Amino acid sequence: MAEALSVIPASVLRNLSDKLYEKRKNAALEVEGIVKQLAAAGDHDKITAVINLLTSEFTYSPQANHRKGGLIGLAAATVGLTSEAAQHLEVEMMPDPMHWYRRLEEACWFLQIVPPVLNSFSDQDSRVRYYACEALYNIAKVVRGDFIIFFNQIFDALCKLSADSDANVQSAAHLLDRLVKDIVTESDQFSIEEFIPLLRERMNVLNPYVRQFLVGWITVLDSVPDIDMLGFLPDFLDGLFNMLSDSSHEIRQQADSALSEFLQEIKNSPSVDYGRMAEILVQRAGSTDEFTRLTAITWINEFVKLGGDQLVPYYADILGAILPCISDKEEKIRVVARETNEELRSIQADPAEGFDVGAILAIAKRQLSSEWEATRIEALHWISTLLRGHRPEVLSSLNDIFDSLLKALSDPSDEVVLLVLEVHACIAEEPLHFRHLVVFLVHNFRVDNSLLEKRGALIIRRLCVLLNAERVYRELSTILEGESDLDFASIMVQALNLILLTSSELAELRDLLKHSLVNPAGKNLFVSLYASWCHSPMAIISLCLLAQTYQHASSVIQSLVEEDINVKFLVQLDKLIRLLETPIFAYLRLQFLDGLCLLYDVHSVDGVWLLNDIQGFGVGKSTCWKMGRRCKSELLEPGRYTWLLKALYGLLMLLPQQSAAFKILRTRLKTVPSYSFNSEQFRRTSSGNPYQILHHIPSGSQITEDGDSIQDGANSHNGINFASRLQQFGQMQHQHRMHAKTQSQLRNSSSTSSSRSKYASNSTIAILPITLFMHLYPGGAKTGRTSMASCIRLEWASFKIIQERPGAITTMIMLLRRTPIQG
């Protein structure tokens, strides 16, 4: 201290702590001159004493003016050192230990000059911080490259000053920052390895000034050829993406510019760490900010194209980021996501290379529950792709995704349901999986009635196309035959029967059933379906009409009892009558004309007259000639379709007379001339065992009135024992009647006294068929005030009531006459 005081006059020291800037400045100039003289003389000890004096007595002083003077004095001393400053600002490792110690003594400023200046950056007085920037600027300008040894400390200080509350301090910090950047870009001593941890710690700072400062440094360092910033990109990539959602447009633009430059470098670089960056991109692809998502998905797109084997272990994560973006509200994101998805799916990856099929399936399964249709569709495409390329691995994980695939059958989107069915069909190629699929499908229909109602037809029809209709129906029939829930079995069979009768996809199955009496394959199918179709009387009747077993259809109709003919039965019957008028049953309607052909051959010699008469029934000339050519072979089977007529008349007798279905069927039957079927034929079909009315054909075989070949006795036709089938039908219907009775008793026993009193006054309310409602309301059918839908609703309501409180019909009639039925 005394040595320094002997060198620097007291007046200079006094002016160095003056409150006026001009006096401090003049004192600093004098200190600069003194240091120059000492440096020229080589008196390093006195230089060190001067630095110690300025540090201890000024920069660490509690007085702000002293601290300002100390900073400007240190800067002046550094400038005064000029070319000699380097040896005071640098500590080198010397090979000679003694020489190293001497240099260490000469460079004692290392712990004296820079620490007080850096410490002043956090001073409470903004003017002190400003002079600290000025002092460090002058020091850096003098020493240049040797200044790099303090880079990390200075960078940390500048990072804080860039967000300083004082505008003058910020300006001074920016000047210093530009100088430091120039020094770093020129220096070959800069260590990027030591700098990156410091940068990584600050990348998540939210202050916009700090963010600008950091992006500026990243850009500058990346521009230096000798600094490999790309190799350290994973350390600060997340921070750059975080800046893309900054509220400042300038910061977003700077971050995007830096990222674009790095992406271009990645495209041109032969060695890139894709894995670590892929993890970051996956997280950022789910950002709430649109610009961040777009940038992330764009990077992922390039990574998928460039990454190769490096990205194989990350495919599942990447897929998890892509699929939600396919349904993004921003069109640009959707386009890039779809392109990336197609690119990823086209890659042929091997599990031996780290391709995790189970992880991909887990992602696809999770996305099946996405709220967006497009995402669910792509998830299903991925499952299909994996089934084609990695079937064993998928089947081994089938238990993990099967439930989700079944739930997807209830999806509101038809396209999703169709794709799910394709996946199920692909899985069900093996018999075991096929059986599981149908069992689970029936289970889902049982527990979710809406699925059967809304999606049942679509699911069954599509499966029939994908997996062979006969195979599907046989399996469903086998399962439903042993179904314990009789109500569900009945509903399910009715649905399957309606699909069978109406779907174009099942045309071949219908054709096969039409030949049940002459074709062994058709017979086997008929027998296979019959057992489960017994759950529904109308389904059995429909099956018999389709299979042309009209004699058995008539027997089934005659076996029905009072309990079987309820609202459900009449609704189903109404549907069947309307179906008989569709092209599907055109063959059945045309069979009535075979009787006319017989009349022409046997009784007429004037063919022209009879053909014209036939045309009166709506038969064209070409049809008539074709039928005429068939007639000789049918002379031996007169009244072949008498049982068809009897079956249809049986259905007519079950229909209420005022119903639309009754009128439709009666009109159709009126078109059949009475002389086509004589009284003898009806007499024979109405007496005795219906299965014993036989005819002979030239081959020596016997046929029934239905044209059934008889081989195994009176009750067996082409291997079908119809008497046994009729007994089977009766037993099943008996089970249904007993079940309905039990259910009714349970409901009655569980009802409360209040509910019993509620229905007491309406004890005479009884169930009425649809047409009876229309009949009881005069003019309803004509005026249009009574609609079929409203009648059905009323009938269902009355059906529920009558199950609990059966009674007479009188009260219902009175109620209906008082209350108009509105459509």
Q: Per-residue pLDDT for 240 more than 80? A: yes
Give the pLDDT confidence score for residue 143 in this predicted structure: 76
pLDDT classification of 510: cutoffs 50, 70, 90: very high
DSSP label at residue 821: P
Query: What percent of the chain is modeled with pLDDT above 70?
Result: 75
What does the pLDDT look like over 557-577, one tens digit per residue? 999 988 888 888 899 999 999
Identify which has the larger pLDDT, 539 or 563. Answer: 539
Calculate mean pLDDT across residues 469-484: 93
The runs of H, that is alpha helices, within 548-616 are: 550-559, 567-579, 586-590, 594-603, 607-615
pLDDT score of 608 more than 80? no
pLDDT at residue 762, as a whole number: 43
* Domains along the sequence of the chain with CATH: 1-190 (1.25.10.10), 485-730 (no CATH), 753-818 (no CATH)
Give the span between the Cα atoms of 40 and 724, in whole angstroms: 129
- With 90 as the cut, is the pLDDT of residue 700 above it? no
Q: Model-level pTM greater than 0.85?
A: no
Mean local confidence (pLDDT), 160-186: 92
Q: Is the pLDDT of residue 780 over 50?
A: no
Confidence (pLDDT) at 820: 43
pLDDT at 628 over 50: no
Q: Per the structure block, which two tokens stand in for 776?
A: 């009881």
Phi and psi torsions of 617, nearest 5°: -90, 10
In angstroms, the CA 785 to CA 721 distance is 49
Positive/negative CA dihedral, 733, 738, 740, 741 = positive
Residue 145 has pLDDT above 50, yes or no: yes
For position 680, what pLDDT does the model report?
57
Render 531-556 in DSSP notation, one character per residue.
HHHTT-HHHHHHHHHHHT-HHHHHHH
Residue 640 has a pLDDT of 56
The tokens describing 369, both together, are 């529950």
Residue 104 binned pLDDT confidence (cut-offs 50, 70, 90): very low
pLDDT of 70 above 80: yes
- Mean pLDDT for 696-701 is 37
Lowest mean pLDDT among 45-49, 365-369, 441-445, 602-606: 602-606
Measure the CA–CA gap between 818 and 777, rounded to whole angstroms.
9
Residue 3: pLDDT band with limits 50, 70, 90: low
Query: Cα torsion at 718, 721, 722, 728 (round to 10°)?
Result: -150
- Provide CB contacts within 8 A for 484, sequence distance 6+: none
Burial class (CB in 10 A: 0-12, 13-18, 19+), 424: buried
Residue 352 confidence (pLDDT): 76
Average pLDDT in the 3-17 region? 78
Mean predicted confidence (pLDDT) in 620-648:
53
- pLDDT over 50 (residue 800): no
Average per-residue pLDDT in the chain? 79
Angle in degrees, CA 418, 422, 428, rounded to 5: 140
Percent of the chain with pLDDT over 90: 44
Q: What is the pLDDT of residue 588?
A: 87
Per mean pLDDT, which range of 270-284, 343-357, 447-461, 728-742 is the poorest? 343-357
Largest CA distance in the chain: 156
Mean pLDDT of 165-182: 93
Residue in 62, 167, 67, 179 with CA at minimum distance from that of residue 117 = 67
What b-and-e string marks burial along 630-664, b requiring 16 or more CB atoms within 10 Å of the CB? ebeebeebbbbbbbbbbbbebbbebbbebbbbbeb
State mean pLDDT over 686-699.
Answer: 42
Cα radius of gyration (the chain): 48
Asked if residue 613 has pLDDT above 60, the reply is: no
Confidence of residue 465 (pLDDT cuts 50, 70, 90): very high
- Give CA–CA dist 10/8, Å, rounded: 7
Alpha-carbon distance of 611 to 590, in angstroms, equals: 15
CA distances from 515 to 47, 526, 693, 717 (A): 119, 10, 20, 13
Instruction: Give the pLDDT confidence score for residue 547 in this predicted structure.
Output: 92
**d(C-alpha 646, C-alpha 689), whole Å:** 15
pLDDT digits (tens, 9 = 90+) for 730-775: 999 999 999 888 888 888 877 654 444 444 444 333 334 444 444 4
Which residues, 6 or more positions from 741, have their beta carbon under 8 angstroms from its beta carbon?
A: none
The whole-angstrom separation of Cα 461 and Cα 501 is: 12
Q: Give 814's pLDDT tier (boundaries 50, 70, 90).
A: very low
- Nearest-10 Cα torsion for 752, 754, 759, 760: 110
pLDDT of 397 reads 87
- Model confidence at 674, pLDDT cuts 50, 70, 90, reads low
**pLDDT confidence tier of residue 535, bands split at 50, 70 and 90:** very high
Q: Do 481 and 438 contact (CB within 8 A), yes or no? A: no
Q: How many CA atoms lie within 13 A of 641 on its CB side?
A: 21
